[in-house]
Amino acid sequence: MKKFGPTSRLAVESFTILGMLCITGFTAPPAFAQTIAYVTNLNDGTISVINTATNAVVGTFPAGQTPFAAAFTPNGRFAFVLSENGNTVSVISTATRTVVGNSIPVGQTPVTLAFTPNGRFAYVTNFSDDTVSVINTRTQAVSSIAVGFNPTSVAITPTGGYAYVSNFGDGSVSVINTANNAVVDTIAIGQGRTNRLAITPNGSRVYVTNFDNGSVSVIDTANNNVVGAPIPVGTNPVGLAITPNGRFAYVTNYGAGTVSVINTATNTVVGNPIPVGSLPGSVDISPNGREAYVTNSGSNTVSVISTRTNTVISTIAVGQDPSDVAVLDDRDH
């Protein structure tokens, strides 16, 4: 079975954005309104572009060596893509679908990425050297923070004050104070290897998938304690995304080919697991909360789940070994 936490797929090659153009300060209107998702195809070095209004692929473009994951800047005008084997970050203009500037070197085997809410910094987990790279998006300067063993996921609180990092190799979560980039806490989850994590929109809880024992743990951000018992889901849970209203968490069960839905008010699973494609990994929710998009790396497809009915409403063929999906709706940017 393919290593999911270990082998990353985020290829963020960087940018000099028109002579160090500030991403956060760039306010020119986009060339066109976009309601799209980017899917990184690890094995063929491309990104598939899905029109989320029609759930059809509307374009495919090259994304460099082993693109593992992608994330849109808060203003929606750029996508950062991580290169798993290239150890770089690329910056792509969402208006032109082309790489802007040069790639930004980060640590070894970058796997996930998250922006601070103001877009000034990007935090990148480097699986193979146990660090998090911090990119200043204005200057492209990169600093490094030592965390736990095999960091595989990062999420930032809504206020931007803290970054939570799951450490796949030692089953822990590191907490970084973004004001000084110091690790201020290490939370032992105690449920085997931790994989992906997500933070509720109100910032009060962190949900973490436990790859080995088929469960999800919940952290209270007020005191960084694990609350309650682990929530049983499916075999080898990997990806996790929370709906914009904070009411539900969608979890991909890599080994079972299903998605579990957690009610965050009760921390219980709702209904039966949802069958999707083979080896589901990443999941993202549309900004309106109506659909969940799931990459199936074993079947080269993306499953679209209606969050109203919790059924698959579309299956979209993409590239080879889709590893990550990021959904953008920039009509309000």
Round to whole Å and give the CA distance between 311 and 50.
19
8 falls within a domain? no
Question: What number is the average pLDDT over the span 166-174?
Answer: 97
| pLDDT confidence of residue 207 | 98
Round to whole Å and give the CA distance between 53 and 331.
13
Q: Residue 330's pLDDT band (boundaries 50, 70, 90)?
A: low
First-to-last CA distance in the chain? 40
How many domains does the chain contain in total? 1
Question: At 115, phi and psi to the nearest 5?
Answer: -100, 150
Q: Residue 101's pLDDT band (boundaries 50, 70, 90)?
A: confident
Tell me: pLDDT of 231 over 90: yes
**Pairing label, strands 194-199, 205-210:** antiparallel
105 falls within a domain? yes
| pLDDT confidence of residue 33 | 56
Q: What percent of the chain has pLDDT above 70?
A: 89
Tell me: pLDDT of 192 over 90: yes
Contact 265, 282 (CB under 8 A): no
52 falls within a domain? yes
In angstroms, what is the C-alpha Rg of the chain? 18
pLDDT in tens, 103-162: 999 999 999 999 999 999 999 999 999 999 999 999 999 999 999 999 999 999 999 999
Contact 131, 176 (CB under 8 A): no
Contact 113, 12 (CB under 8 A): yes
Round to whole Å and give the CA distance between 92 and 119.
15
Round to whole Å and give the CA distance between 29 and 291.
27
In this structure, which amino acid lies at residue 320? Q
299 falls within a domain? yes
The position carrying tokens 């290829």 is 11
Question: At 49, phi and psi to the nearest 5?
Answer: -105, 120
122 is written with which tokens? 């990007």
CATH number of the domain to which 298 belongs: 2.130.10.10
Question: What number is the average pLDDT over the span 177-205?
Answer: 97
pLDDT in tens, 291-323: 999 999 999 999 999 999 999 999 999 999 999
pLDDT in tens, 65-80: 899 999 999 999 999 9
97 falls within a domain? yes
6 falls within a domain? no
Among 8-12, 53-57, 98-102, 268-272, the least confident range: 8-12
Phi-psi region at 25: left, alpha or beta (left = phi > 0; alpha = psi -120 to 50): alpha
| pLDDT confidence of residue 26 | 33
118 burial level (CB within 10 Å; 0-12, 13-18, 19+): exposed
Contact 249, 259 (CB under 8 A): no
132 falls within a domain? yes
Q: Residue 329's pLDDT band (boundaries 50, 70, 90)?
A: confident
What domain range includes position 244? 17-329
* This prediction's pTM: 0.90
| pLDDT confidence of residue 326 | 97
pLDDT in tens, 280-298: 999 999 999 999 999 999 9
263 falls within a domain? yes
pLDDT in tens, 20-36: 334 443 333 334 457 99
For Cα atoms 287, 155, 170, give the angle at the middle one, nearest 5 degrees.
Answer: 140
Tell me: pLDDT of 226 over 70: yes
Contact 158, 165 (CB under 8 A): no
In this structure, which amino acid lies at residue 127? F
Tell me: pLDDT of 12 over 90: no
Round to whole Å and give the CA distance between 304 and 292.
6
CA neighbours within 13 Å on the CB side: how many for 164?
Answer: 29
For Cα atoms 90, 177, 206, give the angle at the middle one, nearest 5 degrees.
Answer: 80
